[in-house]
A and B are shown apart, each in its own frame.
With several copies, the nearest count.
Chain A
Amino acid sequence: MSQATEYSKKVMDHFSNPRNVGEIEDASGVGTVGNAKCGDIMRMYLDIDENQVIREAKFKTFGCGAAVATSSMATELVKGKTVREALEVTNKAVMEALDGLPPVKVHCSLLAEEAIHAALWDYATKNGISIEGLKPPVDDIDETEEFYEMQGE
């Protein structure tokens, strides 16, 4: 099925004009998730101030339209939030903010959630902080992905 018509307007908007593309030098936290074999890699950069507020978020993504859009939306959603609030930006929140995703693309939103977590984990590790509810990033998310692919028919 055609992606262009399966994607919501919001997804197409975030894909064609992605917000916050780029790198942050000396970022407080950087997380990279996904792998090239599966066709999606997201890298998220966070700049976090002393009050644990996310001042700035940037991303780079190798992946499909949904991967780009969810990355873009994820950066938008975490900006200005505290670390704790950012943890609550789930894949569902990202999907809802994008007016939904086609079933086969749900895994992209999961990847975005994981990218946030991975960047936060990096920040926590670097600063010796422990953030409640944050788990270490999985090395290879193949399994999770496959599970979610199956959900999407």
Chain B
Amino acid sequence: MEKKLIYMDNAATTKVKPEVVEAMMPYFTELFYNPSSTYGVAGEIAQEVDKARETIADFLNCEAREVFFTGGGSESDNWAIKGIADARKDKGNHIITSKIEHHAVTHACQFLEKNGYEVTYLDVDEYGMVDPKAVESAIKSNTILITIMFANNEIGTIEPVKEIGRIAHEHGVLFHTDAVQAFGHVAIDVKEMNIDMLSASAHKINGPKGVGLMYINKSIRISNLIHGGGQERGKRAGTTNAAGIIGFGKAVEIAASTLEERREHEMRLRNHMVSRVMEEIPYTKYNGHKTERLSNNASFCFRFIEGESLLLMLDMAGICGSSGSACNSGSLDPSHVLLAIGCPHEIAHGSLRLTISEETTLEDVDYTVDKLKGIVERLRSMSPLYEDFIKKGGND
């Protein structure tokens, strides 16, 4: 592993910042105590945990007691959906979501469908946008929850969350948003944006893996996903992961103070990358919305080639990217997100997601595009689909 790697997969996970590691360290060893214990040292740790909670509450514009720590984004999503489904089962059994949610949301919904719930999976347009009007039309008298992601993990599209939340509230329905990709990258004000519940994950913003959170508006009653001890105000059992939470707090503190500059840097490089790719590599589709998208995300489909081969060759060139979402690598199905925005199967197979960070340089981007160009060419020269296409005169 001597050669330098260019990491373009920040949507999959991010490097823990040294300041975050430093903040966590004491809580493994000297201050390893259980924050729920009676003794004073334990209480001091509990106070640090609550400081992290406050930092995050400030960032989201909510109260500290509305922030609940979990074991990750997937747990938060499952909790939101199953917890509301259970708590409101007397009120209704209908949930509205979209076709481009993360599997943590869609599979939780599918599980509920097997247990007597009804789920509407809304279509999106070619940019991956959910239409708030479609949300409104889908609401029925038995609708108990609307869950629409804040920003998509594959194509980066940012959804009209505020408008969807407004509609939800107009109809007295709860609104949850999976903000795992957006949190720490986009300014989020849960009050202003009409968000009742929000999922986030530390490892997507330079915090540790295995720590997530859910914001739950204080007026909401939700059943536990994990029952047991009285931690997290009785709403999420399990010995408090003090080190992880304190690391999460530090990561948010840093993210909050660098939000704008990161966005600008990423936008500039991302846009440069996209322009070059679209100009220099023919038969390429740029996925997602042009403007309403995460600043660090670029998503392409290269016709006639297949994603895994592309990734392997990029890897050999020292470039880390992803095809579809990382959780699904190794699966043989093309991304449900790309299919939902209207990519035909064989084009969806040739997808590449490159997600940069504040550490990415112009050189990294140019090196990546240069390599990518050659790799796409090489794979196309091996592709029977490309052969047919050229023989047919380059027209479909």
Would you call A76 an interface residue if the criterion is a C-beta within 8 Å of the partner chain's C-beta atoms? no
**Interchain nearest-CB distance for B296 vs A (Å):** 22
Q: Which of B39, B331, B346 contacts A4 (CB 8 A)?
A: B39
User: Bound complex: CA of A15 vs CA of B313, how far in Å?
Assistant: 9
CB interface residues, A 6-23, toward B, < 8 Å: 6, 12, 15-16, 18, 21, 23
Decide: A1 and B46 in contact? CB cutoff 8 A. Answer: yes
Would you call B361 an interface residue if the criterion is a C-beta within 8 Å of the partner chain's C-beta atoms? no
**Interchain nearest-CB distance for A137 vs B (Å):** 15
Q: Which of B43, B305, B383 contacts A1 (CB 8 A)?
A: B43
Q: Known: A60-B382, A60-B383. Is A2-B334 also a contact (CB below 8 A)? A: no
User: Bound complex: CA of A32 vs CA of B384, how far in Å?
Assistant: 9
Q: Which residues on A sit within 8 Å (CB–CB) of B43? A: 1-6
How many of chain A's residues have a CB under 8 angstroms from any CB in B?
A: 33
* Closest chain A residue, CB of each to CB of B304: A62
Decide: A61 and B345 in contact? CB cutoff 8 A. Answer: no
**Interchain nearest-CB distance for B75 vs A (Å):** 22
Decide: A2 and B385 in contact? CB cutoff 8 A. Answer: no
User: Bound complex: CA of A38 vs CA of B275, how far in Å?
Assistant: 30
Would you call A153 an interface residue if the criterion is a C-beta within 8 Å of the partner chain's C-beta atoms? yes
Decide: B306 and A21 in contact? CB cutoff 8 A. Answer: no
Would you call B47 an interface residue if the criterion is a C-beta within 8 Å of the partner chain's C-beta atoms? yes
Q: Which residues on B sit within 8 Å (CB–CB) of A61? A: 382-384
**Interchain nearest-CB distance for B307 vs A (Å):** 8
Decide: A36 and B330 in contact? CB cutoff 8 A. Answer: no
* Closest chain B residue, CB of each to CB of A6: B43
Q: Which residues on B sit within 8 Å (CB–CB) of A37? A: 345-346
User: Bound complex: CA of A18 vs CA of B381, how far in Å?
Assistant: 12
Q: Which residues on A sit within 8 Å (CB–CB) of B312? A: 3-4, 12, 15-16, 65
Q: Chain B 231-251, CB within 8 Å of chain A: the 1/0 string?
A: 001000000000000000000
Q: Chain B 286-317, CB within 8 Å of chain A: the 1/0 string?
A: 00000000000000000011111101110110
Q: What are 7 A-B interface contacts by the 8 Å CB criterion?
A: A2-B44, A3-B308, A12-B312, A38-B345, A60-B383, A104-B330, A153-B233
Q: Report which B residues bind A (CB closer than 8 A).
A: 35-40, 42-44, 46-47, 233, 304-309, 311-313, 315-316, 329-332, 334, 345-346, 349, 381-387
